[in-house]
Amino acid sequence: MKKYSIAIALALLLPISGTALAAVVYVSGQGQSYDPGIALENARADAVTKCTAQAGTPVGEVYNHVTRANLWLASSIWQCEVP
């Protein structure tokens, strides 16, 4: 009886196994420019590139930060779903 119930449980999990194998990771990107908008754009592009390099799909931006030094420095953290 125990083997039968395990087989049923595994059969029920089979349709969602593709979703269950996907993992959510976080990637960060950096950018710099004399313009804060361009620095943030470069940081976002860097993070998305890192996500797609892992065969992932960018889900959305979680956090960004722009600061002023000699140039504008930006960082962006993205949520990325990878298989």
8-65 confidence digits (pLDDT tens): 655 555 555 555 567 999 999 999 999 999 999 999 999 999 999 999 999 999 999 9
What is the structure's pLDDT at 22? 79
Residue of 27, 30, 28, 52 whose CA lies nearest to 39: 30
- Once rounded to an integer, what is the mean pLDDT over residues 66-78? 95
pTM confidence score: 0.73
Burial (CB count <10 Å: 0-12, 13-18, 19+), residue 56: buried
Look up the CATH number of the domain holding residue 44: 3.10.28
What is the structure's pLDDT at 5? 57
Query: Into how many domains does the chain fold?
Result: 1
Q: Is the pLDDT of residue 7 over 70?
A: no
Residue 7 lies in a domain: no
* Backbone phi, psi, residue 22, to 5°: -75, 140
Residue 1 lies in a domain: no
What is the structure's pLDDT at 13? 55
Domain range enclosing 67: 22-82
* Backbone phi, psi, residue 34, to 5°: -80, -10
